[in-house]
Structure 1
Amino acid sequence: MLPLLKYFVMKDLIDKLLSVCFPSDILTYFELSAIEEYKDRIDIRFDEKKEMIPQCLRRIPNIVLDGFCNPIGLLSFPLKDKPTYLKIYRRRWKQSGINKYYSNTYQLHPRGIKTTHHFASFLKEAH
């Protein structure tokens, strides 16, 4: 198989695996950036996509990335019989030279519980 074709086949398989394992609302706005497996848990990091500039800043010149907000930690379905935590990092934006920060907000978890929507529904049905 040609290297370029092999790349696209592998990318398609990885994208399909991600769509099976993680909520579509997370994959729409965030990209997988790290996976760390520990003895007692798995942490999966998602960083907000760079093109997700907040709506209020889209027409303002000199917008720059300024790091990340504090992460949102969500419990998701277990992997390999270990609790799996999704660490969601939203980007922080500002206009160059001005110290006012902006970030996007998302409804990534049900109110009052730090799990993904799908995992919360599963737990609710299980009890």
Structure 2
Amino acid sequence: MSSERLLAIANLLLPEVLILYFDLTKHEVKGEEIHFYFTELNTPPDDFKGIKLHSKGFFPEASVQDFPIRGKQVFLHITRRRWLNGATGKVVTRDWDLVAKGTRITSEFAAFLKDIYK
């Protein structure tokens, strides 16, 4: 499958924030599980426009569960980037709200489960 077609399908199924700010680097089907691997793009946060930032590697990969697809469990493996502010020497990151508090599932999936189990 071409990368354009895969991206079109990903746009329909995955959280928008992952499509906009991350590169889908790999996907795997392992039995009854689908795994998507994302790496944050080297695009510094908007709050730091005009400030010289240097990419300084990545945080450890985080894995979260998302909506099932065709009866298979879906896991998102997310690698976030960090930058160094050359002027202050401080590490800069984006503040992501991808994971629902107290869980290892996406916020959207948590909201969905909350609604169906009322």
Q: Same fold (TM over 0.5)?
A: yes
Q: Which of the two has greater helix per residue?
A: 1
In structure 2, do the counterparts of structure 1 residues 15 and 39 end up closer, same or farther at CA, with 3 Å as the change threshold? closer
> TM-score when scaled to structure 2?
0.76
In structure 2, how many angstroms separate the alpha carbons of the residues matched to 1:80 and 1:66? Answer: 38
Listed as ranges, the matches of 1:18-97 within 5 Å are 18-39=10-31, 41-51=33-43, 53-61=44-52, 63-79=53-69, 81-95=71-85
Against the structure 1 CA distance between its residues 37 and 11, is the aligned structure 2 distance closer, same or farther, given a 3 Å change threshold? closer
Identical pairs, percent: 26
Task: State the Cα RMSD in Å.
Answer: 2.6
Instruction: Give the total of aligned pairs.
Output: 116
Which one is further off, 34-43 or 111-120? 34-43
Bigger-Rg structure (1/2): 1
Q: 1:92–1:101: 8 Å Cα contact kept in structure 2?
A: yes
Shift of 1:98: 7.6
**Equivalent position SS for 2:103:** coil
Shift of 1:126: 3.1
Measure how far apart 1:35 and its partner are.
Answer: 1.3
Any gaps of 5 or more consecutive residues in structure 2?
A: none
CA deviation vs aligned residue, 1:9-45 (integer Å, no higher than 9, x gap): x565333211111011221221211113334533211
Greater percentage in strand: 2
* Unmatched segments (≥5 aa) in structure 1: 1-9
2:36 match: secondary structure: strand
TM-score, normalization by structure 1: 0.71
